[in-house]
Amino acid sequence: MDIIKKITRRSFIKKAIITLVSLELVYVFVNLLKKGGETKVSSNLFAAGDIDLFEKGRVYPFSTERFYLSRLDDGGFLAISTKCTHLGCTVQFKNSDNKFLCPCHASAFNKHGEVLAPPATSALDLYNITIENGEIFVDTATPVKRAKYNSSQITYA
Amino acid sequence: MNKPGTQKAITKFLLHLHPPKVNAQSIKYTRTFGLGGIAALLFVLLFITGMLLRFVYVPSEKGAYDSILYLQQEVIFGQLLRNMHYWCGMLLVIVSFLHVIRVFYSQSIFNERRKNWLYGLLIMFLVIMSNFTGYLLPWDQLAYWAVTIMTNMLSYIPLIGDPLANLVRGGAEVNEGTLLRFYHFHTGLLPLLMVFLMSIHFWLVRKAKGVTVADSSKKEMVPTTPQLVYKEIVVALSLILILILFSMLIDAPLLEKANPLESPNPSKAPWYFMGFQELLLHMHPSFGIFIVPVIVTAFLIYIPFVKDLQVNVGVWFNTSVGKKVTIWSAIYSTVFTMLIIVSTEYLLKFQSWMPDAPVLITTGLLPLLLYVLPTFGFILMMKKHLKAGKLELIIGLVSILLTGYLVMTVVGSLMRGEGMHLFA
């Protein structure tokens, strides 16, 4: 209880003012840092091409847009982000091994983006796909996080 | 130089930093190895070379890499200037780290030096932050991916991780905004904070009546000038000479320009964070990035406040038992850490043995217990067989942690090749 006895009215007001001013400075500073990142676009549709261009069971790179378009054996599509969920390196699809490999920490993912080898713990992010008149559009503005793969994530024509 | 005016000016100026007389034991080189002073000198060198580099460097995505190339190829002594700044920065991390170790093992963190231990830890943190923010500035592949990895490590902190990582980067990815804010942290805010904290750090050393001495009963005093000042000058001049020679011979690394589409294989964090990156290969990120470092930091802060310690202030390793404990702990930690690294790499695969258990347990809690339990047993054994006291055991634990981190740093940066495979 020593601490409580030490606080007088004067020191309380003094400390309160110092705390308030510091909090305000921190608040202003954090907002200043946030401001720089505010260039968010709500959606950015990228036209990947006609459905017929993509063979079943193959994975197509769109490296400038940072995703892979994976056409599964049943004809469904997944737009998989190239950003490794472990520490953000760029994964690459190895056709010979039929899996995504991360060069930084050797995580591996299958064609659905599921984890095959740690240290990554969650599946690769997805981008939303819409198909209109047989053409595929991928929304590259917002990656969708997921822990595991399930079949509802696949888009069919 | 022997003109009385100059002499008086120098003496008077230096006596703002040093007392007029110092204990003869405290100026023996092996007492402090001059580490604190060397760190301060490196800070000044970094300040000077950094000021010069600012005249050429352009902190933008388009201009950064080209300005470094221009500096190295067109500016006279440009390469040397960059090398000096780079090697001073790297040496500062090493020297500060050794300084922390020195004050810890020579029992110079207790009683009136408690507060200074905390300021010292804070300055150590700022040194690493300064080096890390500077790491991004050349905007080459090395810089880009090291910072990508590091900032993504932050996002594993529970609750505040993602917003914090985005705040540091100024977006979801490392981009021009990140470069600009790292530049301003590196050349503005951090050095300013450090000057401020260093002043307090020095003042607190003087307030504690200088550095600790091994035998406080011997009180032979010698005049600061020339006894101490000459030693300082010799150390400072030799250090500057060695640094210049080193910078003339070995260039600071520069890879191709940053390319966000392609991670080099392997991609590594800056070497002083390689211990963390190695830890991450064996452990769930929320343990490796958050739980373990927070516990270790809290422990380091708490050490000088532990009650009922038999402290021999200024005595290396406290007692002869402490020395034995340190040696055994270092040996244990080297062997055991190596053993764990190799066995988790090839044998122990908790995640594939128990695919249904939550990853926090299989890759977090189990590896942690695998390390902590035998270490706890080892400490109990040292208590029993070496008759180690509380402080000696704390010294032992710190030695285990330090050696463990060093082993992980060495393994991560030197023994891992392509795909981060061991011995590749």
Nearest by CB to A105, from B260, B264, B420: name it.
B420
Query: What was the ipTM of the complex prediction?
Result: 0.77
Angstroms from A131 CA to nearest CA on chain B:
26
Q: Do A121 and B359 touch (CB under 8 A)?
A: yes
Give the whole-angstrom CA distance, residue B170 versus residue B185: 13
Where is A30: in which H helix or E strand?
Answer: helix A9-35
Whether residue A40 lies inside any domain: the answer is no
Same domain for A115 and A58, yes or no, is: yes
Compute chain A's Rg from CA coordinates. Answer: 24
Residue where the block lists tokens 């021009």: B176
Q: Do A119 and B419 touch (CB under 8 A)?
A: no
DSSP 8-state assignment for residue B365: I
Give the whole-angstrom CA distance, residue A46 versus residue A43: 10
Same domain for A68 and A14, yes or no, is: no
DSSP H helices, B283-386, are 285, 292-302, 320-346, 350-353, 359, 366-385
Chain A positions in Cβ-Cβ contact with residue B260 (cut-off 8 Å): 66, 90
Residue range(s) defining the domain that contains residue A26:
2-35
Same domain for A10 and A71, yes or no, is: no
DSSP H helices, B74-140, are 78-105, 114-136
Same domain for A67 and A138, yes or no, is: yes
Could you give the angle at which helices B292-302 and B390-414 cross, rounded to 10 degrees? 140
Same domain for A26 and A53, yes or no, is: no
Rounded to a whole number of angstroms, the distance between the first and last alpha carbons of chain B is 59
Chain A positions in Cβ-Cβ contact with residue B281 (cut-off 8 Å): 105, 119
Let me know how many helices (H) and strands (E) chain B has, helices first. Answer: 19, 2
Beta-bridged to residue A126, according to DSSP, are A80, A144
Q: Which residues contact B399 (CB under 8 A, 6 or more apart)?
A: B325, B326, B329, B330, B333
Whether residue A59 lies inside any domain: the answer is yes
Q: Do A106 and B419 touch (CB under 8 A)?
A: yes
A152 pLDDT more than 80: no
| C-alpha torsion angle, residues A107, B261, B131, B179 (rounded to 10) | -140
Q: Do A121 and B363 touch (CB under 8 A)?
A: yes
What is the domain count for chain A? 2
Same domain for A23 and A84, yes or no, is: no
Beta-bridged to residue A61, according to DSSP, are A68
Angstroms from A133 CA to nearest CA on chain B:
31
User: Average pLDDT per run of 10 along chain B, which is 424 residues long?
Assistant: 68 77 83 90 95 92 91 92 94 95 90 91 95 92 87 82 83 85 92 95 88 80 83 93 94 85 78 85 81 91 88 84 91 92 78 72 82 90 85 91 93 78 68
Tell me the pLDDT of chain A averaged across its residues: 79
Same domain for A8 and A72, yes or no, is: no
Longest dimension (CA), chain A: 79
Nearest by CB to B264, from A30, A37, A103: name it.
A103
Whether residue A68 lies inside any domain: the answer is yes
Q: Do B148 and A87 touch (CB under 8 A)?
A: yes
How far, in Å, are B133, B137, B215 from residue B150 at the CA level?
11, 15, 45
Angstroms from B287 CA to nearest CA on chain A:
13
Rounded to a whole number of angstroms, the distance between the first and last alpha carbons of chain A is 71
Give the whole-angstrom CA distance, residue B199 versus residue B181: 26
Q: Do B169 and A119 touch (CB under 8 A)?
A: no
Same domain for A84 and A54, yes or no, is: yes
Same domain for A31 and A60, yes or no, is: no
Same domain for A15 and A58, yes or no, is: no
- What kind of architecture, by CATH, is found in domain B15-264? Up-down Bundle (1.20)
Question: Where along chain B do the CATH 1.20.810.10 domains lie?
Answer: 15-264
Q: What is the pLDDT of residues A92-134, one digit of tens each?
A: 887 777 888 887 777 888 878 788 777 777 888 888 887 777 7
CATH number at residue A87: 2.102.10.10
Angstroms from B154 CA to nearest CA on chain A:
9
Same domain for A78 and A104, yes or no, is: yes
Same domain for A23 and A87, yes or no, is: no
